[in-house]
């Protein structure tokens, strides 16, 4: 009798943890009527959606940070609202950004991720779209560091709502992921599906994806991939329901339009049919042929987009190798810029070793997500060599993981869940760790978003299966709830506090410089924030301290990366605000040498010129020190020779110093630059009254004859 009771107890525990196949309806049909239970899909969906909401609702108060400016705030197509949708779907994702920088796309092949950007444009239509004919002036005047007044307030209000939409997208993803796991991966174990979804939803490494609105493409990509899995399996179970197939194909295409990561489903979809539907390899491949057509369509679109980005006008007359060489050449210049190619200064061996070593960082952050950073660009992660222990540890760990994957898929199929989870993890990891594709960055927390699904599946399996070793059932359930509760609390604390760091560039980079003190971009961004802060500071001592601090950080960034153009530019601005014009000019000259067409460069030279316009009269002209004023104006003209006001004031100083011929020459130049300058014209008339016609320059004589 004792044995029988013990056996019954064991069966009760196992059935509670892993319901038998007869309960498939629980998974397949979430709408089926059930009593309130933790196994009920609706109950689970409410749990994960609430967790997503609670963890990220504090992003509502955030503004724009990091790449939000490039993709949303300064994107002319987004600003146009619905009118910009055509350009969004027919242009590269960063076309607007590079156009404003007055340069060509520097990423080989470009980036085509229009779907999330289209949602930003749709939102903008309701916020108040900017007409096409006005968008350039609005972008130039309002969307910049340190904007004030109504323009800034509107931008911030718009971003509050965009953050809320990101939270809604994340909540939707949590529910769809839950359904995917219940219906396909943990078909007979809804408890494991719930735990895996909870672990994914609460993971702090996802803060970048949700708190940085620009990263909505990651959420949408995984969202539509999960829907593709679900609808594909529904079609396999209901072959006459072609609506499921059509829906799966549409979702698959939308996943591609969100981000190219959907390419992993070329392997994952047939693999899932092989593992979870027990199809043969041949049948799995045949079943996914329609999806290969979608892949072909997307590849065609990407090739056409890459040709467009490369500026190839007549591709019909070029061979495929010629087209590929031209596309590759598009990114040739960016490959020489260490901020686009973090391994530019590394030897080939160092590059491979660092990529292998960095790959282990992702696993470390999934296990222990602290500290976090928005930037891992040069020189955040030092170059490694094959003499580093971490490189070999990464090789051993990842070879073991891949070996286990093949064993669980083809040998020990009873552990098929592990096989699928590892495949999900590794395939997405290979897309972002630079070993297969050069992504232009060392690493990024958002890049592990998809892979974390596989990690969550494995961890959930071990947590729930661990209940088998705890008796009785009530203790097992209490233990699982306690462990999960502790994880939720710790992750919640980390996530909610990290969300606050993402409020804006200032809060983000002031925090991240503690984590990656040698990052060129983080040092540059902190310095830019300090320059902006100085504009608001009324205390001269504090203002000076901020500007000198920014110069120090920019000096560090430039020392690490001597070609850091934005560093020279911002350092020039800081020197200008301190009144150190010689140093400011040297910085701007460095920008000009490296990037002669930098959009704001001309305006900054004009600012320096205007400084000498003011100082020439304030220091000397008003006190009758005309020779000194002339020298001051000449310095300004050497900086900005196209500044009409400088030439006009130089003419005035010459006239006051009775150098009438020089005054006429200066005012002639003023009129060349600004023919409508009436004061220069009047001054010239007065100066010519003191000159004999034969001593006048030809242009002046001609003007006198006209009069």
pLDDT tens digits, one per residue of 259-287:
999 999 999 999 999 999 999 999 999 99
For the chain, what is the radius of gyration of the CA atoms? 32
pTM as predicted: 0.87
- Helix then strand then coil, in percent of the chain rounded to 5, is 75, 0, 25
CA–CA separation, 259 vs 112, rounded Å? Answer: 8
Q: 361 CB contacts (<8 Å, ≥6 apart)?
A: 381, 443
DSSP class of residue 313? S
Report d(CA 376, CA 368) in Å as an integer: 17
Q: How does 76-110 read in b/e, with b if 16+ C-beta sit within 10 Å? A: bbbbbbebbbebbeebbbbbbbbebeeeebbbbbb
Q: What is the pLDDT of residue 14?
A: 40
Q: Please report where in the chains the tokens 């289209």 appear, as a residue.
A: 118
CA separation, residue 34 to residues 192, 252, 493 (Å): 19, 32, 34
645, 616 Cβ separation under 8 angstroms: no
CA distance 577 to 407: 65
What is the pLDDT at residue 47? 98
> What local confidence, expressed as pLDDT, does residue 134 receive?
65
What's the confidence (pLDDT) of residue 377? 93
- State residue 691's pLDDT score: 80
Distances (CA, A) of 451 to 245, 564, 703: 26, 33, 75
Per-residue pLDDT, 45? 98
**Backbone conformation region of residue 440, classed left if phi is above 0, alpha if psi is from -120 to 50, else beta:** left
Helix (H, G, I), strand (E, B) or coil at 553: helix
- Residue 359: half-sphere exposure toward Cβ, Cα within 13 Å: 28
User: What pLDDT shows up at residue 4?
Assistant: 41
Query: Do the Cβ atoms of 121 and 80 come closer than 8 Å?
Result: yes
Residue 439's H or E segment, with its range, is none
CA distance 362 to 156: 33
Q: What is the pLDDT of residue 85?
A: 97
What are 476's two structure tokens?
Answer: 């097992």
The CA distance from 309 to 538, in Å, is: 47
User: CA 453, CA 46: separation in Å to the nearest integer?
Assistant: 19
Q: Tokens in use for 100?
A: 């404003």
Instruction: Report how far apart, in Å, the C-alpha atoms of 177 and of each of 66, 214, 229, 230, 446 are.
Output: 28, 21, 10, 10, 17
Residues of the chain with pLDDT under 50: 1-32, 34, 141-146, 332, 694, 700-702, 704-707
pLDDT of residue 689: 85
Q: Are residues 422 and 454 in contact, defined by beta-carbon separation less than 8 angstroms? A: yes
Q: For position 106, what pLDDT does the model report?
A: 58
- How many CB atoms sit inside 10 A of residue 298's CB? 19
pLDDT of residue 149: 67
Question: Under a CB-based contact definition with an 8 Å cutoff, are residues 653 and 622 in contact?
Answer: no
**Rounded CA separation 615/582 (Å):** 14
83 alpha-carbon distance from chain centroid: 24
């Amino acid at each position: 009798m004792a044995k029988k009771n013990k056996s019954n107890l064991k069966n009760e525990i196992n059935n509670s943890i892993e319901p038998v196949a007869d309960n498939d309806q629980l998974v397949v049909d979430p709408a089926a009527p059930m009593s309130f239970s933790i196994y009920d899909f609706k109950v689970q969906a409410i749990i994960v959606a609430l967790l997503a909401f609670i963890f990220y609702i504090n992003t509502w108060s955030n503004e724009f940070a990091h790449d939000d400016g490039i993709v949303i705030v300064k994107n002319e197509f987004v600003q146009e609202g619905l009118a910009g949708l055509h350009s969004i779907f027919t242009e590269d994702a960063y076309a607007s950004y590079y156009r404003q920088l007055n340069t060509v796309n520097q990423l080989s092949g470009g980036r085509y991720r229009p779907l999330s950007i289209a949602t930003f444009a749709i939102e903008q239509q309701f916020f108040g779209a900017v007409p096409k004919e006005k968008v350039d002036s609005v972008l130039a005047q309002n969307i910049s560091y340190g904007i004030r007044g109504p323009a800034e307030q509107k931008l911030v209000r718009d971003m509050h709502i965009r953050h809320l939409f990101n939270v809604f997208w994340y909540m939707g993803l949590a529910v769809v992921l839950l359904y995917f796991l219940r219906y396909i991966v943990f078909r007979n174990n809804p408890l494991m599906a719930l735990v895996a979804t909870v672990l994914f939803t609460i993971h702090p490494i996802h803060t970048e994806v949700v708190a940085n609105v620009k990263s909505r493409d990651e959420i949408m990509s995984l969202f539509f991939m999960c829907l593709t899995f679900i609808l594909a399996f529904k079609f396999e179970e209901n072959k006459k329901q072609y609506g499921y197939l059509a829906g799966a194909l549409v979702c698959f295409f939308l996943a591609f339009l969100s981000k190219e990561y959907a390419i992993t489903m070329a392997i994952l979809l047939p693999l899932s049919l092989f593992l979870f539907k027990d199809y043969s390899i041949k049948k799995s491949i045949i079943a996914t042929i329609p999806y290969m057509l979608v892949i072909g369509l997307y590849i065609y679109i990407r090739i056409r987009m890459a040709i467009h980005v490369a500026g190839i006008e007549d591709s019909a007359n070029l061979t495929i190798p010629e087209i590929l060489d031209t596309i590759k050449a598009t990114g040739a210049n960016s490959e020489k810029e260490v901020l686009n190619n973090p391994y530019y200064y590394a030897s080939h061996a160092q590059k491979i070793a660092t990529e292998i070593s960095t790959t282990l960082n992702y696993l470390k952050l999934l296990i222990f997500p602290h500290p976090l950073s928005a930037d891992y660009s040069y020189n955040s992660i030092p170059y490694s060599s094959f003499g580093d222990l971490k490189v070999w540890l990464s090789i051993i760990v990842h070879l073991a993981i891949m070996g286990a994957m093949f064993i669980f898929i083809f040998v020990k199929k009873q552990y098929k869940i592990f096989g699928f989870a590892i495949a999900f993890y590794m395939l997405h990891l290979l897309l972002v760790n630079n070993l297969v594709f050069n992504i232009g960055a060392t690493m990024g927390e958002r890049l592990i978003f998809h892979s974390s699904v596989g990690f969550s599946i494995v961890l959930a399996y071990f947590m729930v299966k661990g209940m088998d070793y705890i008796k009785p059932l009530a203790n097992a359930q209490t233990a699982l709830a306690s462990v999960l509760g502790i994880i939720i609390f710790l992750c919640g604390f980390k996530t909610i506090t990290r969300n606050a760091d993402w409020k804006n560039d200032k809060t983000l980079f002031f925090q991240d410089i503690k984590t990656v003190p040698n990052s060129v971009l983080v040092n540059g961004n902190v310095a830019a924030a300090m320059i902006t802060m100085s504009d608001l500071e009324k205390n001269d001592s504090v203002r000076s301290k901020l500007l000198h601090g920014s110069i120090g950080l920019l000096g560090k960034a430039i020392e690490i990366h001597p070609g850091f153009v934005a560093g020279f530019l911002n350092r020039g601005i800081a020197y200008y605000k301190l009144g150190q014009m010689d140093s400011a000019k040297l910085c701007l000259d460095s920008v000009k040498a490296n990037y002669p067409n930098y959009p704001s460069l001309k305006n900054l030279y004009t600012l320096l010129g205007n400084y000498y316009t003011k100082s020439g009269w304030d220091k000397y002209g008003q006190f009758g020190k005309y020779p000194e004023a002339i020298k001051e104006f000449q310095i300004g003209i050497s900086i900005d020779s196209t500044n009409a006001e400088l030439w006009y004031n130089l003419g005035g100083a010459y006239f006051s110093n009775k150098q009438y011929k020089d005054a006429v020459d200066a005012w002639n130049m003023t009129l060349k630059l600004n023919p409508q300058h009436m004061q220069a014209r009047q001054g010239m008339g007065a100066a010519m009254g003191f000159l004999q016609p034969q001593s006048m320059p030809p242009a002046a004589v001609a003007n006198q004859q006209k009069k």
